[in-house]
């Protein structure tokens, strides 16, 4: 199976072009195997790029544990870059079908003619608790107490197509991300599990963020997580409608101008291509 390794500020996935390739295994099994950083290709999961009847291409994303997610912010920028650079559709504006509908992306090419940065209309955040989904009260659920082990934390929940639970903290420590993250992910308040964001507000326009992702553990960056965090920052009165989000792997610019659609801008990078042989 031929594949391409790409990342968006360090959030790395194995990409397979279904316009040209057939999968040798069911996608969830393949995701688990290729994501393994010792015995596979290595990555936070698997992303399939295929034909779409509604857009220029369709993205399907699977976490490292094989679970499928509705959406991936860093992934959709990379899918658009792939579609643009590999001539599937070389247009300044692309439409990519995802689990949360067809998204519009603006491509910014560098002097090589290849796409370097991508601005994505991420759609309107979902703020009704039943639709996020969470058992926590409030539409939207803002600053809600959540009992995790022997701690009660205050969380704000947002869906960007996929579910997020944002905790604002004074200091970003491993105790929050690696200690609480895995417990929040599988907490009974989240029937479809959840991505857990831990955010330190640096100013009204700057946030430091780490994310424990559903199905993949801590990643270098999470695009939908950055969007959900800005929305949570606005809803809880902590931030303005535009902020630079610093993640371990780099920065994303997030805007929620009129509290309708969220926009995300950031880089997309192709690292290498290769051929993977299933073990027999």
Ligand X SMILES: N[C@@H](CCC[C@H](N)C(=O)O)C(=O)O
- Nearest approach, Cβ of residue 4 and ligand X (Å): 17
Does the annotation mark 72 as catalytic? yes
Give 11's strand partners: 8
Q: Tell me whether residue 73 or residue 181 sits nearer to ligand X (CB atom).
A: 73
Tally of CB atoms within 10 A around 75: 30
7 binds ligand X (CB under 6 A): no
- Measured between alpha carbons, how far is 255 from 185 in angstroms, rounded to an integer? 26
Q: Which of residues 161-180 bind ligand X (CB under 6 A)?
A: 162
Is 223 one of the annotated binding-site residues?
yes
Q: Tell me whether residue 153 or residue 209 sits nearer to ligand X (CB atom).
A: 209
List 72, 78, 157, 227, catalytic entry? 72
214 binds ligand X (CB under 6 A): yes
Q: Tell me whether residue 57 or residue 252 sits nearer to ligand X (CB atom).
A: 252
Q: Which of residues 116-155 bind ligand X (CB under 6 A)?
A: none
Query: What separation in angstroms does the CA of 278 have from each of 33, 39, 42, 68?
Result: 9, 11, 14, 21
Does the annotation mark 165 as catalytic? no
Helix (H, G, I), strand (E, B) or coil at 123: coil
Nearest alpha carbon to residue 260 among 121, 94, 105, 101: 121
How many residues bind to ligand X according to rule CB under 6 A?
17
Kindly write down the DSSP assignment for every residue of 143-156, as one continuous string: SEEEEETTEEEEEE
List 78, 165, 222, 227, catalytic entry? 222
Residue of 31, 34, 47, 72 interacting with ligand X (CB under 6 A):
72
- For the stretch 149-188, what's the b/e string if a residue is b when 16 or more beta carbons lie within 10 angstroms of its beta carbon? eeeebebbbbbbbbbbbbbbbeeeeeebbeebbeebbebe
35 binds ligand X (CB under 6 A): no
CA 41 to chain centre: 20
Can you say which residues are annotated as belonging to the binding site for substrate? 11, 63, 73-74, 162, 195, 213-214, 223-224
**Looking at the annotation, which residues are catalytic?**
72, 222
Q: Which residues bind ligand X (CB under 6 A)?
A: 11, 63, 69, 72-75, 162, 195, 213-216, 219, 222-224
């Amino acid at each position: 199976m031929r594949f391409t390794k790409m990342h968006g500020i360090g959030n790395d996935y194995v990409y397979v072009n279904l316009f040209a390739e057939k999968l040798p295994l069911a996608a969830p099994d393949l995701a688990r195997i290729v994501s393994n950083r010792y015995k596979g290709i290595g990555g936070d999961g698997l992303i399939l790029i295929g034909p779409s009847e509604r857009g220029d291409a369709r993205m399907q994303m699977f976490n490292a544990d094989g679970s499928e997610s509705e959406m991936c912010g860093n992934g959709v920028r990379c899918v658009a870059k792939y579609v643009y650079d590999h001539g599937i559709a070389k247009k300044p504006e692309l439409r990519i079908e995802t689990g949360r509908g067809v998204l519009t992306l603006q491509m910014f090419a560098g002097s090589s003619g290849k796409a370097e940065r991508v601005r994505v209309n991420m759609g309107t955040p979902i703020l009704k608790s039943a639709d996020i989904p969470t058992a926590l009260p409030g539409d939207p659920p803002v600053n809600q107490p959540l009992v995790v082990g022997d701690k009660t934390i205050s969380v704000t929940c947002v869906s960007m197509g996929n579910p997020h639970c944002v905790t604002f903290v004074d200091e970003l420590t491993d105790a929050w991300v690696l200690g609480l993250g895995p417990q929040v992910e599988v907490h009974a308040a989240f029937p479809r599990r959840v991505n857990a964001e831990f955010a330190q507000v640096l100013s009204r326009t700057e946030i430091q963020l780490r994310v424990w992702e559903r199905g993949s553990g801590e990643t270098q960056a999470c695009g939908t997580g950055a969007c959900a965090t800005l929305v949570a920052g606005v809803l809880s009165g902590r931030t303005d409608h535009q902020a630079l989000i610093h993640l371990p792997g780099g920065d994303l610019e997030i805007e929620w101008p009129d509290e309708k659609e969220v926009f995300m801008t950031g880089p997309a990078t192709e690292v290498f291509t290769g051929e993977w042989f299933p073990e027999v």
